[in-house]
Amino acid sequence: MSDTRQLLHDHLFDQAPIMIAVLDKDFGVVEANARFQNLFGQWRGRHCYEILKGRGSPCDRCLAAWTFADGQVRVCDDRLQLSGDVTSHFVVRVAPLTSEEADGEPHLIWIASNANEAGSLLRENEVLFERAPSYITVLDRDLRIIRANKRMRETFGRAWGRRCYEVYKRRDRPCRVCPALKVFETGEDQTSTQVGVSATGEETHYIVKASALSRDEGPDGSEVKYVIEMATDVTHLHMLEKEKLEAERLAAVGQAVAGLAHGIKNILMGLEGGVYVMESGLKQNQTAKIERGMQMLDRNVQKISDLAKNLLSFSKGRVPEVAMTDPADVCREIHELYSDLARQAGIDLSLDLQRGVRPAPLDAAAIHTCLANLVSNAIDACQMSENKNCRVVLRCFEKNESLGFEVIDNGCGMDYEVKKKLFTTFFTTKGAGGTGLGLLMTRKIVQEHGGRISVESKPGQGTNFRILLPRERLPEPGSGTDNGTGGREAGPKNAKK
């Protein structure tokens, strides 16, 4: 038995996948195993600081010295010098060596396990995973969370062993758009925007990236075994964005209300005039004047009722119905709608559709109204122009991740006064023919799509109206019927390859 122990001991000493040395209190190496010698070279008669650090004197911070002093076991990470001027990473453990035979001369046992780079990286990763200011989870093929980091647990509560959709969204079945399932299926990275519910019940917006973590070699080839989901919380950004859009909308309504005064003033002027002209006709017994006065009253009463109708549609609006729409289709519809009118007026109405403009989540009917307003304005501008060869171009293009529309004409153009009032008032230069609401409506719709409308115009040369809708700010498909429960998923607009 004792022989076996001795044998085992000798073998273990030399074969264990660790480096072992025994140090005396002057840090001289008095014993070492074969692995130690293999790795660090000749040790007999040398000190540990010479062998392991290439130094001529003991280290400033010396684990062994502390352990000699207090007898405590110590563990540390250390970078040690291998034979041949290479360094590598180790986990070092020092413990007092007590022996029955020892008679007071203290020794230490020094053990190093070859932690190497992988080991140190592993620890770094551990810190990264646990402390990252993101939600990180590892999912198995059943969508069960097998690991979740600190931030995730703090925000969404107990996660381990539960399904991701239960924890993130309080759903009882997988989400309609599931980046993790897509990764399991394709092996490719997925990114999407999601809305979850935190442990305290708050709506939480996050952009999640899902990647394959490890693969399994099965009989049918390899398949993704685990997926890691890393999510950045964008709730604050989302709120800011929403507040900004809301502020823009309110500003538009405010301007509309301020501008309403102009519309009413003009109508009052008409009514005032009608009454006066009629009275004047009655006094002078002139039938023609009385009739004219009546007509003026009629027209202005009609204007009031038009204004009221338009105002109602402006203030209430309809619930926007957002669906994936091909912008080029809307342009073609507008072209078809106005080509006859343009031809009769001798105006060349053409389409310029850039290739590869992707479908976008739009309220198609509203965008139709927008473009119809602009094209009809452009045709009016051409008719008021002295230019014989008038043309109107409706363009659709993609620029810097924004969807763009342009309506360009070479009609009468606008001077500075007119341009300035375009969007700010119930303003019309068309006399009785305009309500002054068309461009206001147009701008409202553009703003509801998170976009901007701008205009360039020169008197006598023409006008260019441009709408830019940044794709990032477009509404979400189906947002007209949003139930607000947080079970929403972003549409394909966010899925990046």
Partner 1 sequence: MATPQEKKILVVDDEEDVIFFLTTALEDVGFQVDSAMSVDEALGKIKSSPPDCISLDMVMPGKSGIILFHELHRNQAWRKIPVLFVTGHARDEKVKSELDAAAALSQSTMSGPATYLEKPVTARKFVEAVAQAVKVELEGAAESRGDSPVALKEQLQELMDGADPDALRQALELLRRKSGS
Contact positions toward partner 1, by CB under 8 A?
262, 265-266, 268-274, 276-277, 280, 284, 289, 292, 296, 299-300, 384, 412, 415, 417-418, 420-421, 425, 427, 429-432, 459
Minimum Å distance from CB 446 to partner 1?
Answer: 23
Nearest to 212 by CA among 197, 228, 223: 228
Place of tokens 């399932």: 181
State which amino acid sits at residue 303.
K
Beta bridge partners of 393: 350, 408
Dihedrals phi, psi of 201, to nearest 5 degrees = 85, 10
Minimum Å distance from CB 283 to partner 1?
Answer: 8
Minimum Å distance from CB 342 to partner 1?
Answer: 20
Direct distance between the N- and C-terminal alpha carbons of the chain, in angstroms, rounded to an integer = 66
Query: 441: part of which helix (H) or strand (E)?
Result: helix 438-448
Cβ nearer to partner 1, comparing 63 with 267 = 267
The Cα angle at residue 311 between residues 306 and 317, in degrees rounded to 5: 125
Minimum Å distance from CB 359 to partner 1?
Answer: 38
* Whole-angstrom distance, CA of residue 457 vs CA of residue 168: 51
Q: What is the DSSP string of 342-360?
A: HHHTT-EEEEEE-TTPPPE
Cβ nearer to partner 1, comparing 16 with 455 = 455
Token pair listed for 21:
């040395």
Burial class (CB in 10 A: 0-12, 13-18, 19+), 158: exposed
Minimum Å distance from CB 143 to partner 1?
Answer: 60
C-alpha separations of 242 from 201, 446, 480 in Å: 20, 15, 15
Q: What is the DSSP string of 316-346?
A: H------EEE-HHHHHHHHHHHHHHHHHHTT
Minimum Å distance from CB 408 to partner 1?
Answer: 20
Tell me what percent of the chain is helix, strand and coil, each rounded to the nearest 5: 45, 25, 30
Pair 49, 130: CB distance under 8 Å = no
Cβ nearer to partner 1, comparing 224 with 277 = 277
Minimum Å distance from CB 155 to partner 1?
Answer: 49
Cβ nearer to partner 1, comparing 48 with 267 = 267
Q: What is the DSSP string of 394-439?
A: EEEEEETTEEEEEEEE-SS---HHHHHHTTTSS--SSGGG--S-HH
Cβ nearer to partner 1, comparing 2 with 284 = 284
Angle between helices 438-448 and 235-284 in degrees, nearest 10: 170
Cβ nearer to partner 1, comparing 277 with 408 = 277
Minimum Å distance from CB 335 to partner 1?
Answer: 26
Cβ nearer to partner 1, comparing 228 with 278 = 278
* Whole-angstrom distance, CA of residue 159 vs CA of residue 282: 87
Minimum Å distance from CB 433 to partner 1?
Answer: 11
Cβ nearer to partner 1, comparing 194 with 376 = 376
Minimum Å distance from CB 262 to partner 1?
Answer: 5
Minimum Å distance from CB 460 to partner 1?
Answer: 9
